Structures are given as structure tokens and as C-alpha cells.
Amino acid sequence: MHIHILGICGTFMAGVALLARAAGHTVSGCDAGVYPPMSMQLAEAGIALREGYAPEQLAEFQPDMIVVGNVMSRGRLIVEELLNCDLPYASGPAWLAEHVLRDRHVLAVAGTHGKTSTSSLLAWILEHAGLAPGFLIGGIPANFGQSAQLGHGRCFVVEADEYDTAFFDKRSKFVHYRPRTLILNNLEFDHADIFPDLAAIQRQFHHLLRTVPSSGLIVANGTDANLAEVLAMGCWTPVERFGTGDWEARDIASDGSAFKVHYQGEKQGRAEWRQLGLHNVHNALAAIAAARHVGVPVSTAIAALSSFEGVKRRLEARGAVNGVTVYDDFAHHPTAIATTLAGLRARVGDQPIIAVLEPRSNTMKLGVFKDSLAPALALADAVVLYQAPDLGWNLGAVAAALGPRGQVCHSLDDTLAAIQAQAKPGAQVLIMSNGGFGGIHERLLQTLRAFAADA
């Protein structure tokens, strides 16, 4: 079967493409922005890519099935072409559920924050235990080097996103997956472009709960009041809670790099790993609990943590030059920004942190979080804010709230210059964006190398 994917370079759709290719299908696709790292993954898998959405490509490829990403909308010429020609089409989640997840034990990871890290960790624990899992994750786990794999075991780990499915299906993606094991990490308001309020997101999460069988397991953050409200709406599945309740971490190192795992009050073992922050400790507890549900001994799961290499673009150190370390992070919500900074601060102590932020998500562009950004950046010694032309609101008020620590830049060149001016030996430069940010990470490292060579 030849499958053509519209919007193929998004993290989810790229994963679908890799799974379809691994299953033996011919796969091609198109996107308006074909860029690394997903474009590199796709090219290495032998998947033909087209830049843009010209409708002529449907006649060129003559696919048997068109998988439609949620970036597509009515009015796009390629969408009108597939509808007018009565071509077969499906959403990415529906195709995944029908062709990959059927007859697998699905372990889904849902929540506002930590989905990618927790999914990656859970997949690694299962791999370490010899279960050969499949997975589809919205990032690239360093242990695997790719965002998706079919696996040949019965388990399949999926990052379960609450964003809507497609232009013809406005349900959240995760209602398609029908997990037997479900992790609920946390729940906050996000995706203001499609959800009017938190209650609307909670309803979608409750729709997800309705799909988990009574013989399954829900692993829920016991400290999250919003999730507690969702569970109170009706739950027909056993629940284990982490953070407080069934699964707890004790004797936690200040930076989160070591902790003891307790289950129902009994010590299970001590974990040591390279991840930072209390949020990652909670991610680990959730993954350990979910893995136990499919038969992985807790001691085996704890042992797997020591060899977990993290996820690309999750506080990923991109390089260090002359004592300046540059990190790349996907944070695009105030809570994620604050927790990432807290983890880095715990690791580096009083070394100066320069936070560089591109507010790029749809919710950020709407200005929903504009009053929360300055408090979220409180642990940074200096903050450089990039005012992209399409942001839609002025970052000046955020910079003003930060006082002398904050500044706004209106071009990538100015942003780069502002970072360089403050990046003295010992500085930790934390660059946060859910996009490519114009390759600013490598540009900064190159500039620092050139400066060091001339010094």
C-alpha cells in the first residue's frame, strides 16, 4: 500500500510515517516546513518528501491512502482535491489505531507536561526489560535515536496528545488509542486555540478514561487537583497514584539525580540517573508504575533509569565553548519553563543562567500566558525574549516585569548578539522554543568558537 501523509514533518505524523514504512508500506508526504530533526529521520527511512501542499502531488504519487495531519484545514487546495476526487483518507490517530495498535497492549502517556520524557523513559524501561516494545513519541529518545518503532513485543507506548485529531474529527487524538495502561501526568490549561477553558480539556480527558478497561490501570499524579476532578467525574479502572499515595520518592537529591522509590510505604530501591528536577523524578515514578503493570519488576525498572539518556530538546546540552554551556529545551508553557529552570538551577548552583525564549506555540501567540511568563522566568539571571513578527502581542510588558534582567529582541541577529554580550565563562545559556528557532543554538556555538579562536 502507498500512503501519502499531509503534514508529515510534525513529530506525531513523522512517527506515523516511520511506523508505516517499517510495516512494509510505501510512504511519501508533504509539509510546509521540511526541517530537522524529523526531515532527517524521514529521509534516512527512504520516505519521499515534498515541500508545500500543491494538489498535483496526489496525482503524481497516486496513493492508496492519504493520512491527514491536523495542520490541514478546509480551503487548502490539496484538501479540496482529495475530497472532490473522493480519495480514501484517514487521520493519523485513526490510522495508527487501526493498523498498529490493534492487538497490542497500549501504554498511553497523557498530560499537559512531561509526556515525551515519560513516554521515552517508559519505552526504555520496557526495552531494558527485554520486552521489545513499539512506540510513537513526540520527540527523539536518545536511547533509540528515532521517534517511533514497531517493536515485536506485545507492548506499545504512545504519547497521548489532547490536541484535536483532524479537520473532520475534533476529538482529542488520545481517544483513538484505547490504552490498557494509562499515565496521567498532570493537567493545566493549554491549547487556547481550540479549548475555551480548562473544563473543556477535562471533558476530553474524561472521554479518555472511559476507554480504559476495568482490567487495566490508571497511573495518576496524586498531587494534581485538576486530574482529581477528572477522576471524580467517573472512573471504572483501578488507579495507582504517584507523587503522593502509592508511589513516592524519598531522600531526593537536590537536583533530582538520585532518589529512593517507595511503593505503598515499602522501599523498592534507590535510583541514580542523569536527569534533572523533581518533575523528572515524578515522571520516573509514573513510568515504573506503568511498567510494573505489564510485568516488569520494580528493581529492573529502577536499574533501567541509570542508562536512560534523555530526550533530544529536553534540557539537551548542545555544546560548551570556553566555559559557556548551551542547552536546547522544548518548553513552551510557563509551568514547563519554571520546572526546567528549577532543574538547571539545582544542577549548576549559583552559576549565571541566561534564559532565551521564543514564545511560539499557538497558545503563546494568543497571549494567554503573558502575565505568567515573568514569574516563570524568575530563576534566570538574565532573560532574552525574541519578538517574532507573527507573535501578535508585545513582549515589552514581560521584559518590564523582569526589570534589568529582561530584554526584547526583534530579530535573530539581535537575539544572538544579546546572548553573546552576556555569555561569559561559566554561563549556562538555556534556549527555549518548540520550533527550530532559526538554528540559533548552533549559530551561537559557532560564534563562541570563533570568538575563542580570536582571543
| pLDDT given for residue 313 in this prediction | 79
CB 406 within 8 A of CB 429: no
Q: What share of the chain is helix, strand, coil (3-state, %, to 5)?
A: 35, 25, 40
CB 142 within 8 A of CB 312: yes
CB 365 within 8 A of CB 440: no
In the chain, pLDDT over 70 holds for what percent of residues?
A: 98
* Model confidence band, residue 436 (pLDDT cutoffs 50, 70, 90): confident
Q: Residue 157: how many CA atoms within 13 Å on its side-chain side?
A: 31
| pLDDT given for residue 452 in this prediction | 65
| pLDDT given for residue 18 in this prediction | 94
CA nearest 356: which of 453, 428, 273, 277?
Answer: 428
Which sign does the torsion angle of CA 175, 37, 422, 255 carry?
positive
Summarize pLDDT for 283-312 with one digit per residue, the tens: 999 999 999 999 999 999 999 999 999 888
| pLDDT given for residue 455 in this prediction | 57
CB 21 within 8 A of CB 46: yes
| pLDDT given for residue 454 in this prediction | 64
Domains of the chain (ranges; CATH) run 2-93 (3.40.50.720), 103-305 (3.40.1190.10), 316-454 (3.90.190.20)
C-alpha pair distances (Å), 112 with each of 224, 335, 336, 351:
11, 9, 9, 30
CB 116 within 8 A of CB 142: no
Query: Is the model's pLDDT at 38 over the cut of 90?
Result: no
Cβ burial of 425 (10 Å; 0-12, 13-18, 19+) is exposed
Can you tell me the distance from the alpha carbon of 139 to that of 141, in angstroms, rounded to the nearest whole number? 6
* Model confidence band, residue 118 (pLDDT cutoffs 50, 70, 90): very high
Q: What is the DSSP string of 158-176?
A: EE---SEEETTEEEEGGGG
Task: Give the containing element (helix H, strand E) for 252.
Answer: none
Q: Which three cell numbers stand for residue 376?
A: 516563570
Query: Is the model's pLDDT at 36 over the cut of 90?
Result: no
| pLDDT given for residue 255 in this prediction | 87
Beta bridge partner(s), residue 259? 271
Q: Quote the mean pLDDT of the chain.
A: 92
Task: Give the containing element (helix H, strand E) for 33.
Answer: none
In this structure, the strands spanning 316-321 and 266-272 are unpaired
| pLDDT given for residue 392 in this prediction | 84
* Model confidence band, residue 277 (pLDDT cutoffs 50, 70, 90): confident
| pLDDT given for residue 174 in this prediction | 96
| pLDDT given for residue 393 in this prediction | 87
Give me the amino acid identity at 224.
Answer: D
| pLDDT given for residue 260 in this prediction | 98
Summarize pLDDT for 312-357 with one digit per residue, the tens: 878 888 888 888 999 998 877 888 899 889 889 988 899 999 999 9
Mean pLDDT of 177-198: 91
Summarize pLDDT for 151-185 with one digit per residue, the tens: 999 999 999 999 999 999 999 999 999 999 999 99
Rounded to 5°, the CA angle 113-137-202 comes to 40
Can you tell me the distance from the alpha carbon of 147 to that of 38, in angstroms, rounded to the nearest whole number? 9
Q: Is 227 helix (H, G, I), strand (E, B) or coil?
A: helix
Mean pLDDT of 18-47: 86
Beta bridge partner(s), residue 65? 3
In this structure, the strands spanning 428-432 and 353-357 are parallel
Query: Is the model's pLDDT at 272 over the cut of 90?
Result: yes
Q: How many CB atoms lie within 10 A of CB 86?
A: 7
Task: Sort residue 68 into left (φ over 0), alpha (ψ -120 to 50) or beta.
Answer: beta
